[in-house]
Amino acid sequence: MWLQFQNQLPRAEQVLHAVAETLRVQGANARAVVADANLVVIAWQGGDNETAFARLKQLVERYGIECLNRTALDEAPGLYQVIQHAASQQQVLLPPLYLEMFASVIARAAIVVEKPKEEEAPVEALTEREKDILALLRMGISNREIGELSGLAVTTIKWHIKNIFSKLGVTSRAEAIVMANRSPARFGIKERRPERAG
């Protein structure tokens, strides 16, 4: 994910292929699904829709439609957009039960597809503290490490992160990081270096 956020897609793809293969050999299919799902997203991010759809189909054929679950959607940010596009172009068939279970996610993707400029819609202003914490989140560090760098208690950090999620309209750290990385200036985020205390 870090390589994806840094837009080093070829390197991220190389690492994920190796990770996915190792996980499959070891029988850790739940984690292999996440690695393969991120390979779908990488192709999509790189503008190769054909490869993204082919990888999505392969993912469903290998693990079944149930592999496209909440874990995969949360840990492969952007996967829901690929699913929605693939479904709208009949590249992958989604059973009615799946559509019902993930209606809110698919609907959210449909809004993005129909109105791509909504991604740049204004968000509720972040406080200076929230901007600081979002900048630290982008570095991929834990709540404890954020607390060490900011001088705040972990419970306070969690409270701020909850507020950040609410303002950005996201439900996971990964989604928040993706949004922040796409346009840090939009959120007033300044680049930070991890200077740990000690």
What domains does the chain contain, in order, with CATH numbers?
2-119 (1.25.40), 128-187 (1.10.10.10)
What residues contact 76, with CB distance under 8 A and at least 6 apart?
A: 34, 37, 38, 40, 41
More confident residue, 112 or 99: 99
Distances in Å between the Cα of 142 and the Cα atoms of 2, 145, 196 are: 14, 5, 12
pLDDT of res. 185 = 73
Does 182 have pLDDT greater than 50?
yes
Instruction: Tell me what the pLDDT averaged over the chain comes to.
Output: 76
* Across 166-173, average pLDDT: 82
Q: Which of 92, 76, 73, 61 is nearest to 19 (CA)?
A: 76
pLDDT in tens, 56-104: 888 888 888 777 777 777 788 788 788 877 777 777 776 766 666 666 6
What percentage of the chain exceeds 90 in pLDDT? 3
The pTM for the full model equals 0.51
Q: What are all long-range contacts of 6-12, with beta carbons under 8 Å and residues at least 24 apart? A: 9/42, 9/45, 9/46, 12/38, 12/42
pLDDT of res. 37 = 87
Six token digits for residue 176: 């928040």
**For residue 172, what is the DSSP state?**
S
More confident residue, 25 or 110: 25
**For residue 76, what is the DSSP state?**
S
pLDDT in tens, 26-49: 888 888 888 888 888 888 887 888
